[in-house]
């Protein structure tokens, strides 16, 4: 300690003040976190044994210094020990707080390293009985802090140091090398069942516990080996494949920690337990009535009378036997004896607790095994998974032939703890094998256990089990998915997370593990999996991609690997298989792939694009003798040599390769799981090297999940998806989303945009520095996650299913999707990446009150556009189109359709070769100056004629226009200097409109008054085609249209659903009172509240920013919902058929959806019985499979009509 002089500390303080001064500027870039991030809460109480709470030795005052992501264990400790504690939430095991060198997700407000040091120094000024430090690298502490901690220990404060071989510095090693600590009575390790606990049984007490004396202070160092947990700092990491681990084992880990804390705090008990039982004893079951557990007590510090309480527990923690005795003080050792009774075979833990009144004095645990000649050796099933209508064939192997008095009873018990079926296995004389069959009907869970008991009379002799999967494949309802790794199943905080997620209504884990243990344990916890199968990405600099997606060797190994993983996953009914998150062909502009196999594949692809080498040369500007000489080229080379088409074709081919890779992966998985949904999630921006051709990808996918920040992809994916595809959107704990408004709004954005799931990122990162979580460090739900879960639960209560089975309506507006134009926007200077233009077109159309559907280049080429279905086609910066597309567009316009383009439409063909004249110049009635495509980026647009309600003379500034256009038959309705704009050309029965200016400045004025000019203009243009908004929302205060309010309409026969998404314009935007106007009167309901507005074409409503609204419109009124159970009374274990009838007035009902819920005799809903059923022609039916162990009594069955909110109820007597 001589190294810590006063000058050292003063110097350290000066450095700290300087660092804090520098850091104040750096924290300007930090982001806020909710209050729950910064504190621990004891709100959530987990199952526990209160070893020393209340403790007869008083309350321990403690300071805990541990990683934030593991400090749930502080609360766990406080549940088991009388402890008054302060805590410091370190950012990670290696950093107390963040610095400029920390990762990008680290800088949360208030936890910079200087701020955390300030907090730690302040808390170290107080006095404590013990300091607890765990799972930390001591090098994070400056010398003055390290000195203070060691000085406190030196002077008598106890130290518990867990994971004591992690993160030591030399001073700590010297401290731990001091003389052994004195524990004469072996209080710390006595009564800990080391030999029966995972990890502990391999290491033993000598390796785990090291007691040291440092002057006046005691140190207990706990070393749990090399494997580190992700969410804990006090207890060991138990591998996931140790599936016999239970929550009871955790109690004994914590028992050791509690004893260590009491020892270092010098609060050992007044009575010691010198011995208790015989660890690992094995007793025959028949000998148990004559067997006793014995304890020896010693060291009575004062005369007193105690209560000795024995609790014998099964490995699951259930008390199997209890005994109680009174004990009086004795100067000598005192022996206690507790007789046992008959118990089933198996392992048991026996807890001896000494109590003075209600206060714990001391405790100890031993363990023993009960054996028998005849036991269950194994339980096997004929398959790994089963579907409704199948039977589980169970084979039970005994260790010896059963006696005549014995029988075998098998029970099918699902992961919801419901007994589904029972059967008696036939026992034949002198045989050790028995069989039985258990039917599978109406499974509600994903996993079940075949639990077998060997019974003799009313007693259970032995029990064993096997796990099976239950395949449901009911993929027709809304899903709530969360990103969480399929690992760490044995960590206590992880199990608490699972409980919270069940309460929140989460049903699916994404990023779940690939191995059998992971998927099985996920299913047992009650969740479907979307396993993370692989990831396609490449960020290298070489032009040959690694791995190359055309390499035969790679494909052989890779596809076999996917099939092997699918075989493991299939028994537990995965919702889908993700081929990875944030996939991309390449990033950073790298023009891969130039491998020999990709080059060969390119040539095959080119043969389908060009009839011969001459045609290829004409396009590329090359002199190849054969297509077999064709090679790819980089963008830089293409620009240098004037061979842009050669590069565009290279990129188009690689997009084909990328999509084909996805298709091959899907086929490999489907060889094993024929109905599997396969795709990927979280792709980045669509650009020329990403590989994202959304038309091709969605032909290969059955699953796709898009990031919240890629709205262009939202629209393209929903437009190109096939019926039954699983479509989702990522949202969650991202920076800027950790608030109630965003969390409540986003699920409705997904639903009303045609998506059938939401994917939350993430559950809890634990020790990883990325606080984008659903759970707090206390393992409670962040309020924003809880709020979002409420919205999702509402959607899952029928609304989601109703909209999923409806058709999303558009206004006959098709928006062109052109992959060649993505590359043209990269190759030719202008507006930048095409996605930016697409996004602003989408925003403008929605803000103006319209809906649309994207139509791809391939759809145009193969199907064209039917003017009876499509009224308008919009080309957003569609610079490159094929001759087939141009022909289809021309045909569409001449047949009566309307074409609208912004700038430079069709200046190139699909290969990116500039064309003169342009592919659509004649259609627009314009002529383009040869060789000139540069835009005037800051022009002024002035209307020379009224367009709809936009008057003559209207001016908009800062607009990009194409000055290289002159009229050739078209009529200009606007101009910019001499440049004609807004050119209308009548062709056949239709019109072609070339704006000749970009709308790319729209987002910059979206919240200003200028925005009305854009919206008025687009409404005026579309009105030329007879397209007008079907629903209008007028603000009562000013009579103007409600801004940034998207309207989404769905049709299901006679039923129309109308949703509203009011986006927030600014942080202080108030609630708007507005009138909704429809073109016709209908019976109108607020589908969320059930309010009935009567038969109306106008209703008043409040629009809160960042909230979703949903109305239903019907040609009739819903007068009643009637519910009837087919039987008024049933026995447990029976199926009850529930009939739902819908009564209407004013017309015969179309298809409706009813949410059926079930309430038990305790007046609590049984959520697992809830279901959404179709009610067709006023009639619907649900089947409720009442479990054999459900509570008898009066149950209620309720049906709520999703469209109107009308509710009906019936009672059911369960006996």
Domain ranges of the chain: 6-264, 281-371, 376-470, 813-1018, 1032-1114, 1118-1214
In CATH, the architecture of 1118-1214 is Sandwich (2.60)
Q: 537 near 692, Cβ under 8 Å?
A: no
* pLDDT score at 9: 33
Cα separation, 472 vs 478, whole angstroms: 15
Is there a contact between 489 and 529 (Cβ–Cβ < 8 Å)? no
Q: HSE (CB half, 13 Å, CA atoms) of 246?
A: 14
* Cα–Cα distance, 1094 to 343 (Å, whole number): 67
Please state which CATH number belongs to domain 376-470.
Answer: 2.60.40.1930
CATH architecture of 1032-1114: Sandwich (2.60)
Q: 100: left (phi > 0), else alpha (psi -120 to 50), else beta?
A: alpha
Predicted pLDDT at 16: 39
pTM of the entire predicted model: 0.96
What is the separation of C-alpha 571 from the centre of its chain, rounded to a whole number of angstroms? 22
Q: How many CB atoms lie within 10 A of CB 1206?
A: 22
pLDDT confidence of residue 509: 97
Backbone angles phi, psi at 918, to 5 degrees: -65, 160
Q: Enter the tokens of residue 528.
A: 């479907």
pLDDT at residue 13 in the model: 38
Q: Which CATH fold would you assign to the domain 6-264?
A: Rossmann fold (3.40.50)
- CATH number of this structure's domain 281-371: 2.60.40.2550
Q: Domain 813-1018 carries which CATH code?
A: 3.40.50.880
Domain 281-371 and domain 376-470 have a common topology? yes
Helix (H) and strand (E) counts for the chain? Answer: 25, 56
Specify the 3-state DSSP secondary structure of 1077. Answer: strand
H or E segment at 802? helix 800-804
CA angle 133, 139, 143 (to 5 degrees): 95
* pLDDT score of 427: 87
Say how many CA atoms lie within 13 Å of 454 toward its Cβ: 32
672-702 CB burial, b ≥16 within 10 A, e <16: bbeebbbbbbbbbbbbbbbbbbbbbbbebbb
Q: Tell me the two tokens of residue 613.
A: 């080498």
Q: What's the confidence (pLDDT) of residue 25?
A: 41
pLDDT of residue 756: 98
Mean pLDDT by 10 residues, the chain (1215 residues): 33 39 50 97 98 98 99 99 99 97 94 98 99 98 98 98 96 93 96 99 98 98 97 99 98 99 97 96 97 94 87 98 92 89 98 97 99 98 96 98 95 98 90 96 96 96 98 90 95 98 98 94 97 98 98 99 98 97 96 99 99 98 98 98 99 99 99 98 98 99 98 99 98 95 99 99 96 98 99 99 98 99 98 97 98 99 98 99 99 99 99 98 98 96 97 96 98 98 99 98 90 96 98 97 98 98 97 98 99 98 98 99 96 97 97 99 98 98 98 98 99 98
Quote the distance between the C-alpha of residue 597 and its chain's center: 38
Looking at residue 333, its pLDDT comes to 81
Residue 1173 half-sphere exposure, CB side, CA atoms within 13 Å?
25
SS3 986: strand
CB 522 within 8 A of CB 565: no
User: Which string of DSSP letters, residue by residue, matches 226-272?
Assistant: S---SS-SSSPPPPTT-TT--HHHHHHHHHHHHHHHHHHTT---SSE
Query: Distance between CA 851 and CA 1207 in Å, rounded?
Result: 33
∠ CA(939), CA(943), CA(946), 5° rounding? 160
Establish how many alpha carbons lie within 13 A of residue 528's alpha carbon, considering only the half-sphere containing its beta carbon: 21
């Amino acid at each position: 300690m001589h190294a810590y002089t006063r000058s050292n500390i003063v110097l350290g303080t000066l450095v700290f003040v300087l660092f804090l001064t520098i850091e104040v500027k750096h924290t300007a870039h930090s982001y806020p976190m909710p209050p729950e991030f910064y504190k621990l809460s004891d709100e959530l109480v987990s199952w526990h044994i209160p070893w020393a709470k209340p403790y007869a030795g008083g309350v321990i005052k403690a300071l805990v210094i541990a990683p934030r992501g593991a400090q749930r264990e502080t609360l766990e400790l406080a549940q088991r020990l009388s402890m008054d504690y302060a805590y410091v939430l370190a950012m990670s095991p290696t950093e107390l707080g963040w610095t400029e060198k920390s990762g990008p997700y680290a800088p949360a407000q208030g936890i910079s390293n200087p701020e955390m040091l300030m907090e730690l120094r302040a808390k170290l000024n107080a006095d404590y009985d013990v300091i607890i430090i765990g799972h930390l690298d001591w090098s994070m502490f400056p010398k003055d802090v390290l000195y203070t901690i060691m000085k406190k220990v030196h002077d008598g404060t106890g130290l518990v140091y867990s994971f004591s071989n992690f993160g030591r510095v030399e001073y700590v090693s010297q401290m731990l090398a001091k003389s052994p600590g004195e524990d004469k009575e072996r209080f710390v390790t006595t009564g800990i069942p080391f030999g029966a606990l995972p990890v502990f049984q391999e290491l033993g007490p000598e390796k785990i516990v090291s007691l040291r004396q440092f002057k006046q202070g005691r140190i207990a160092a706990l070393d749990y080996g090399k494997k580190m947990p992700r969410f804990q700092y006090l207890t060991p990491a138990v591998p996931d494949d140790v599936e016999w681990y239970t929550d009871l084992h955790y109690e004994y880990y914590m028992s050791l920690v509690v004893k260590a804390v009491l020892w270092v705090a010098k609060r050992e008990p007044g009575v010691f337990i010198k011995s208790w039982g015989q660890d690992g004893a094995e007793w025959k079951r028949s000998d148990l009535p004559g067997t006793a557990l014995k304890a020896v007590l010693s060291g009575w510090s004062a005369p007193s009378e105690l209560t000795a309480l024995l609790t014998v527990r099964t490995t699951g923690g259930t008390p199997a036997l209890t005994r109680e005795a009174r004990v009086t003080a004795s100067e000598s050792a005192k022996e206690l004896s507790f007789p046992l009774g008959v118990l089933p075979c198996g392992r048991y833990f026996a807890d001896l607790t000494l109590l003075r009144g209600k206060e714990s004095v001391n405790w100890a645990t031993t363990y023993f095994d009960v054996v028998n000649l005849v036991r269950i050796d194994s339980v096997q099933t004929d398959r790994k998974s089963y579907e409704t209508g199948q039977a589980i064939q169970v084979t039970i192997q005994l260790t010896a032939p059963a006696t005549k008095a014995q029988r075998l009873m098998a029970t099918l018990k699902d992961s919801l703890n419901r007994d589904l079926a029972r059967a008696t296995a036939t026992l034949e004389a002198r045989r050790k094998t028995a069989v039985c069959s258990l039917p599978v009907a109406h499974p509600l869970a994903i996993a079940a256990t075949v639990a077998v008991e060997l019974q003799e009379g009313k007693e259970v002799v032995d029990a064993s089990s096997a796990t099976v999967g239950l395949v449901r494949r009911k993929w027709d309802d809304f899903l709530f998915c969360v990103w969480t790794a399929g690992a760490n199943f044995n960590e206590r905080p992880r199990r608490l997370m699972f409980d919270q997620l069940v309460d929140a209504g989460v049903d699916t884990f994404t990023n779940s593990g690939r191995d059998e243990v992971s998927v099985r344990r996920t299913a047992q916890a009650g969740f479907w999996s979307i396993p993370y199968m692989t990831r396609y990405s490449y960020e290298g600099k070489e032009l040959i991609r690694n791995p190359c997606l055309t390499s035969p060797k790679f494909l052989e190994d890779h596809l076999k690997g996917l099939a092997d993983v699918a075989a493991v996953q299939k028994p537990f009914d995965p919702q889908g298989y993700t081929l990875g998150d944030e996939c991309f062909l390449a990033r950073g502009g790298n023009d891969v792939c130039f491998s020999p196999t990709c080059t060969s594949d390119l040539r095959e692809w080119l043969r389908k694009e060009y009839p011969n080498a001459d045609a290829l040369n004409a396009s590329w500007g090359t002199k190849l003798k054969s297509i077999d000489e064709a090679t790819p080229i980089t963008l830089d080379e293409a620009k240098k040599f004037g061979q842009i088409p050669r590069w565009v074709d290279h990129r188009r081919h690689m997009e084909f390769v990328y999509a084909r890779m996805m298709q091959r992966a899907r086929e490999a998985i489907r060889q094993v799981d024929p109905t599997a949904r396969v795709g990927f999630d979280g792709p980045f921006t669509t650009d020329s090297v990403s590989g994202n051709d959304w038309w091709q990808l969605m032909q290969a996918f059955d699953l796709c999940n898009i990031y919240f920040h890629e709205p262009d992809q939202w629209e393209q994916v929903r437009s190109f998806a096939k019926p039954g595809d699983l479509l989702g959107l990522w949202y969650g704990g991202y920076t800027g989303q950790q608030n109630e408004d965003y969390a409540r709004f986003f699920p409705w954005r997904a639903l009303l945009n045609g998506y059938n799931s939401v994917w939350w990122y993430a559950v809890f990162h634990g020790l990883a520095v990325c606080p984008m979580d659903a759970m707090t460090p206390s393992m409670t739900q962040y309020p924003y996650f809880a709020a979002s879960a409420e919205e999702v639960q509402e959607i899952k209560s029928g609304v989601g299913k109703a909209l999923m089975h409806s058709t999303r309506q558009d206004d006959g507006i098709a928006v062109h999707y052109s992959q060649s134009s993505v590359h043209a926007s990269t190759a030719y200077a202008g507006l930048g990446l095409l996605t930016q233009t697409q996004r602003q077109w989408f925003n403008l159309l929605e803000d103006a009150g319209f809906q649309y559907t994207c139509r791809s280049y391939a759809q145009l080429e193969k199907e064209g556009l039917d003017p009876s279905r499509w009224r308008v086609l919009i080309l957003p910066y569609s610079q490159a189109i094929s001759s087939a597309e141009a022909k289809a567009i021309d045909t569409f316009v001449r047949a009566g359709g309307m074409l609208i383009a912004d700038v430079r439409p069709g200046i190139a063909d699909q290969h990116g070769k500039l064309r003169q004249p342009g592919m659509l110049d004649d259609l627009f009635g314009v002529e383009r100056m040869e060789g000139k495509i540069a835009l005037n980026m800051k022009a002024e647009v002035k209307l020379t004629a009224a367009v709809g309600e936009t008057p003559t003379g209207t001016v908009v500034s800062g607009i990009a226009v194409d000055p290289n256009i002159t009229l050739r038959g078209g009529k200009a309705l606007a101009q910019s200097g001499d440049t004609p704009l807004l050119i209308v050309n009548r062709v056949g029965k239709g019109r072609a409109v070339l704006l000749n200016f970009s709308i790319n400045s729209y987002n910059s004025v979206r919240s200003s008054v200028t925005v009305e000019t854009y919206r008025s203009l687009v409404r005026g243009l579309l009105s030329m085609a007879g397209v007008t908004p079907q629903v209008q929302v007028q603000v009562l205060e000013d009579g103007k249209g409600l801004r940034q309010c998207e309207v989404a309409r769905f049709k299901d026969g006679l039923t129309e659903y109308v949703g509203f998404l009011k986006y927030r314009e600014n942080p202080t935007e108030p609630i708007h009172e507005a009138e909704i106007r429809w073109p016709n009167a209908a019976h109108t309901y607020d589908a969320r509240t059930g309010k009935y507005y009567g038969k109306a074409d106008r209703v008043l409503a409040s629009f809160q920013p960042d909230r979703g609204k949903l109305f239903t419109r019907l040609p009739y009124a819903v007068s009643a919902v009637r519910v009837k159970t087919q039987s008024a009374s049933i026995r447990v274990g029976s199926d009850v058929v529930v009939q739902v009838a819908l009564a209407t007035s004013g017309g015969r009902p179309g298809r409706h959806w009813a949410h059926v819920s079930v309430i038990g005799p305790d007046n609590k809903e049984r959520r697992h019985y809830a279901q959404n059923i179709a009610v067709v022609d006023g009639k619907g039916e649900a089947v409720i499979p009442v479990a054999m162990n459900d509570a008898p009594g009066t149950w209620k069955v309720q049906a709520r009509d999703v469209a109107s909110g009308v509710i009906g109820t019936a009672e059911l007597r369960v006996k």
